[in-house]
Structure 1
């Protein structure tokens, strides 16, 4: 009934009515399309600003992380320099003595090893162990003579084949070695004491031996520099000790023969 009435009403309308209605409808659709366009444009702009804000926040967090890392490294290096100065002062004191005690190298080197295992940490909670290995007379094996708290007491005296170990390679080539995954190295042999220690630094102490640093996580590049610094201080002590007890004994023997 309603449809019939509407049809009759439309049939009575003049032609211009339909033309005007079509134009009005088209204008309404254009207006609706334009408003939809403006709305989507504003939404896109809002999303773009939000993405930019998120990116800025991400960059801010990254910068904060880098600043914190640099602060930790700066604090670490400050501690290292302070302790290294103490070791150098001790070394200078030893050099002023006319005669060193035979136990002096053992005491001094143990201080170096313990200090290194502590000073090398750049993150709280990191676990390191440091050791000093000396070659035997035949230069075929290395013996652990000093170790930090990370080594069990029974581990002191352990030996390594100088030709089939990473520490031995460092001694043979007289160069520092820095490896963050020893399991991929052909000279690495797993032992019961290896545990979860996978990162390794080896630094030769002149012709006297080698210092090793084991870690359970990859170490920062600064760890190598710190180890080399402490190894140099150890080398200075061994040179002074050798000059007094070896070369000094030879001079005394030559003088007595004359």
Structure 2
């Protein structure tokens, strides 16, 4: 069979081999073009799928961002609504009525208002500095504070809240265990994140959380702290006025009596 094929090829003219080569090259070119187009279509299809996956991922990111911004917007709306109510209470407040009821209401509201995700757990407290500026004493707090925590005293020179009070500057700490002023008794349980907000010349508001908090929480804390400061300042001013009038009243009575005696003698 091989010999017969060899004989047949030997009898073919040269043009036959030339034509066959041209035909073979043409077939290879056609096959190559087809393979190239098929590969290109496959690459374009894969690229379209990748772009579709990318677009879907970006869409999900935008939706998540939208939900986050919507939650923050709703949160701030609630804060403004409650803050407006507290400011109205401040305007109507008349010393010597107790301020602790108002402060307690603000603290409890804060613990609720700073939540943006269902299930978040926070606790908020107001710590008042003593006359010697050496310790912070727990005065008001949300329901998450245990009885032990309510009896604790924080040293102003050796605690995170004390540092906030000394510097009169808000502190935002994501992991309290890494802070040099933290001790294990400062934040028992699973509370790991802490925000401290100073109440000028009065004390500190603390916000504990089990997860990292945002800067919005700091702003909310500072907003409510300013209202608490207003109540305390107004209460103190009322006390000063009472003392002033108590001291002035006897002098006025004495002056009046002397005037009456002079009129009698004349």
TM-score (norm 1): 0.92
Distance in 2 separating the partners of 1:47 and 1:121: 43
- Paired residues of 1:145 and 1:157 also in contact (CA < 8 A): no
| SS across alignment from 2:188 | coil
**Structure 1 residue 250 displacement after superposition:** 2.8
Task: Give the alignment partner of residue 119 of structure 2, picking from 107, 120, 125.
Answer: 125
Q: How many residues align?
A: 251
Deviates more, 1:221-230 or 1:137-146: 137-146
Per the alignment, residue 225 of structure 2 pairs with 231
CA deviation vs aligned residue, 1:153-172 (integer Å, no higher than 9, x gap)? 33212101100111101111
Correspondences of 1:1-258 after superposition (within 5 Å): 2-94=1-93, 97=94, 99-101=95-97, 104-191=98-185, 193-245=187-239, 247-256=240-249, 258=251
Query: Which has the higher mean CA deviation after the structures are superposed, 8-17 or 202-211?
Result: 8-17
Give 4+ residue runs of structure 1 displaced > 4 Å after superposition.
none
Q: CA deviation at 1:15?
A: 2.3
Secondary structure in 2 matching 1:224 = helix
2:83 is paired with a residue whose SS is helix
Deviation at 1:221, TM superposition (A): 1.2
Which stretches in structure 2 are left out of the alignment for 5+ residues?
252-266
The C-alpha deviation readout for 1:216-245, integer Å capped at 9, x for no partner, is 111111101110110011011001111112
1:72-105 CA deviation, whole Å, 9 max, x = no partner?
01111111111111111111121xx3x432xx21
**Partners in 2 of 1:234 and 1:145 — Cα distance?**
13
Deviations 1:12-68 (A, max 9, x none): 322222221111111111111111111111222222222222222111111111111
* 5-14 or 112-121: bigger deviation: 5-14
Distance 1:117 1:226 in 2: 10
Q: Secondary structure at the match of 1:244?
A: helix
Q: Deviations over 1:84-141 (max 9, x none)?
A: 11111111121xx3x432xx21211111111000000111111110000011222111
Listed as ranges, the gaps of 5+ residues in structure 1 are none
Equivalent position SS for 1:38: helix
Distance apart, 1:192 and its partner CA: 7.4
State the distance in 1 between where 2:138 and 2:131 align: 14
Cross-structure match for 2:262: none
Q: TM-score, normalised by structure 2?
A: 0.89
**Cα root mean square deviation, aligned:** 1.6
Distance 1:252 1:192, change over 3 A: closer
